[in-house]
Amino acid sequence: MSIRHIVVETRLGPVALIARDEAVTGLYFERHVRRPARAAFGRETAVSADPLLGEAARQLHEYLAGERREFALPFAAEGDDFQHSVWNVVKTIQCGETSTYGRIAVQLGDRSLAWQVGQALGANPLCVFVPCHRVVGSTGALTGYAGGLSRKRALLEHEQALLTVGRSS
């Protein structure tokens, strides 16, 4: 098993992108809640030496530049069945839209699972790629984001700006 990572500079700060074999398995900010120990990132490699991580970095930069709204990468997030069910719902939330923990719980069949939905999102190892920043509290308030609320706010504002530009074009 080949685990490796790169660190790329973004307007949101340095981001570690991690891959195992032929799939991206992690995207972590500095001071990311639930960030694994650096040893779990595997060896550091150069962007130019790893086509998969190079492509992940390129797509992340395109997204942050407003040139991309979806990601086309092979992902392999580690998590249990419930976490994967939550992450699969989150993947369907379109750029510029939001959902709530409760709405996702209802989609999964049980409104009382809202807290567990939040826990699954907090454990999302692919934030941004699996856009958990698009999930807000029932009142629309920004709540929890492993990358920090300031980044969550910046990502949501970025996506709203993309929609505004798209409407005026």
pLDDT digits (tens, 9 = 90+) for 64-73: 999 999 999 9
Is residue 30 domain-shared with residue 92, that is, in the same domain?
A: no
Check which CATH number belongs to the domain holding 148 and give it. Answer: 1.10.10.10
In tens, the pLDDT along 17-75 reads 999 999 999 999 988 877 877 888 889 898 889 999 999 999 999 999 999 999 999 99
Is residue 97 domain-shared with residue 35, that is, in the same domain?
A: no
Contact 157, 145 (CB under 8 A): no
Name, in order, each residue with C-beta under 8 angstroms of 10's C-beta and a sequence gap of 6 or more: 60, 61, 64
Q: Is 71 inside any structural domain?
A: no
Six token digits for residue 109: 């069949």
Q: Is 74 inside any structural domain?
A: no
Is residue 104 domain-shared with residue 153, that is, in the same domain?
A: yes
Catalytic site positions = 132
Is residue 155 domain-shared with residue 91, that is, in the same domain?
A: yes
Structural domain count, the chain: 2
Kindly report the pTM of this predicted structure: 0.91
User: What is the domain extent for residue 86?
Assistant: 81-168
Q: Is 70 inside any structural domain?
A: no
- Using the Cα atoms of residue 15, residue 20, residue 24 and residue 28 in order, give the sign of their dihedral: negative
Q: For residue 143, report the phi and psi dihedrals to the nearest 5 degrees.
A: -130, 155
Is residue 60 domain-shared with residue 85, that is, in the same domain?
A: no
Six token digits for residue 107: 């989609």
pLDDT of residue 38: 81
